[in-house]
Amino acid sequence: MAYLIKGAHVYNPDNLGVQDVLVVNDKIAAVGKDLTVVLPELETVEASGKILTPGFIDQHIHVTGGGGEGGPRSRTPEIVLSELISCGTTSLVGVSGTDSVTRSLPNLLAKVQALTDEGVTAWMYTSNYSYPPTTLTGSVKNDLLMVHEVLGVKIALGDHRSSFPTTQNVLDLLTQIRVGGMIAGKIGVLHIHLGNVPGAFEMFEEIVNRGFPIRHIRPTHCARDKYVFGKALEFAKRGGRIDITTGGSCCFESPADAVEAAWDAGIEPSIMTMSSDGHGSVPRFNEKGEMVGLGIGGVACNLRDLKKLIARGHAVEKVLPLLTRNVARGLEMKGKGEVAVGNSADMCLFDENWELQDVYSKGVLMMKDNELLQKGTFEY
């Protein structure tokens, strides 16, 4: 299989201008101007006037469904492949959530493996909201070493549904993650669902002050309320990576506003990311803590907020890394997040109005002219 995509305006995510991109099998083989290629059965794709970007990476999706706070009928459904492709997501990290009973880790592992077989690339975090962590193999270190798909551990802090570990508990867990990652050749991260109960960032500050590397601490939902957002900015100014959730609750009018506020505060753009919280439940509680409503988080919100930031005049090469390079580098996803020779051929093609037209994942054309060519196993 070989494609020569000709004449697209390429953001790799840096602005490369008009370029040709050669794809051979599942890899990008060449990027350059006016490429001349002779290969058997080469297909030429005329992309003049189109914009080519890396495929998007969503590092927080409840692929097996979230929810459960309102009983069995409130469990949200599993994601299907077409939802991902329709919004340009070609790589993802699956997470578990509140329900650690009916949403098991083996089920999560099987789902990310299934999505990878169906055409995207999927990883996962072990555990869920709870402390001590739930694991596949009996220990965090073993999960990181023995399970290729495991990039780190998820926990919830400062949430009424979470455990409330001590600072020493969190430091002990981080140490297991760091050592397990070193042995496995992975970065190893603690992916933290933040609630709005104060205390999580104070923990992180103490842990970093005691000498633990900040790069393993990865808070998400950083714009869920004003207090959390302010503490997240302080954390980022120390070099910590922060993630803005594009679905679910946000203390700004939109998550794009939160991104702009962080940039305005002087946060280094390369340490910021966005993720959808897709297929997580979106519960609504009254002042007594009783749930009064429930919704489902979508996955197209990443693309929505990316387009919103571009429409507001922000440079494309500043916005795109929030869903591409920054995520890949932060999680050490080799071969992902950039249109570069040797990398996975994960690409999106947009028209001049940033309407998504074509999606390639691992070299396979998954969507063409906004029509899905590939769907999940049970979608046909």
Q: Distance of CA 182 to CAs 124, 144, 162, 188, Å?
A: 18, 9, 28, 8
Given the residues 159, 277, 305, 358, the one annotated as active site: 277
Q: Is 73 annotated as a binding residue?
A: no
Nearest to 275 by CA among 251, 236, 305, 246: 246
Q: Is 98 annotated as a binding residue?
A: yes
Q: Is 62 annotated as a binding residue?
A: yes
- Count of positions (residues) in the chain: 380
Alpha carbons 187 and 320: distance in angstroms, whole number: 23
Vertex 74 angle, CA 72 and 80, to 5°: 105
Q: Is 89 annotated as a binding residue?
A: no
Q: Is 221 annotated as a binding residue?
A: yes
Alpha carbons 378 and 343: distance in angstroms, whole number: 30
Q: Is 60 annotated as a binding residue?
A: yes
Q: Is 68 annotated as a binding residue?
A: yes
Alpha carbons 74 and 170: distance in angstroms, whole number: 30
In one-letter notation, the amino acid at residue 371 is: E
Helix (H) or strand (E) holding 181: helix 167-184
Query: Encoding tokens for residue 331?
Result: 């999680």
Alpha carbons 331 and 329: distance in angstroms, whole number: 5
243 part of the active site: no
| Binding-site residues from annotation for substrate | 67-69, 98, 129, 161, 224, 281
| Binding-site residues from annotation | 60, 62, 67-69, 98, 129, 154, 161, 193, 221, 224, 277, 281
| Binding-site residues from annotation for Zn(2+) | 60, 62, 154, 193, 221, 277
Catalytic positions are: 277
